[in-house]
Structure 1
Amino acid sequence: MRWNNPRLHTPERRKTWLACAEHRQSLGDFLGARGFLREVTPAEGSPTLDT
């Protein structure tokens, strides 16, 4: 999950949090509720988002 806090980071800055399939939804909800979530992409070399 790529995110940033617009109060602290420039618009182009992205931080990355990795999440397993079990926790992807709750982490996405946490970031999304705060307006921080920018995109969800698979990490290089990891399984797809479908797993």
Structure 2
Amino acid sequence: MNDVNAPDDETPICSAKDCRAPAVWVLAWNNPKLHTPERRKTWLACDEHREHLSSFLGMRGFLKDVVTLPEWQERESAADR
């Protein structure tokens, strides 16, 4: 039986533990002890987990940017051109 609310295999999902909700947000971050300043790692977040994941990264000084998934995809697409 298929859950009509479950994301398909192509849908980006939230990075929060055990969450399977579709991602709405991209949290761009880096660990300055490991990454060059321009490097960006990403976590994806649903609306419910955006604040929790942002706080986790922010408390460590890792969070660099929070944008909607479509905005991030547009930035990435423009950078590839």
TM-score (norm 1): 0.83
Q: Highest Rg: 1 or 2? A: 2
Aligned pairs, number: 45
Query: Identity of counterpart residues, as a percentage?
Result: 64
Correspondence for 1:3: 29
Moved over 6 A (4+): none
Q: List gaps (5 residues or longer) in structure 2.
A: 1-26, 72-81
Q: CA RMSD in A?
A: 1.2
Higher relative contact order (CA 8 A, sep 6+): 1
Higher strand share: 2
Q: List gaps (5 residues or longer) in structure 1.
A: 46-51
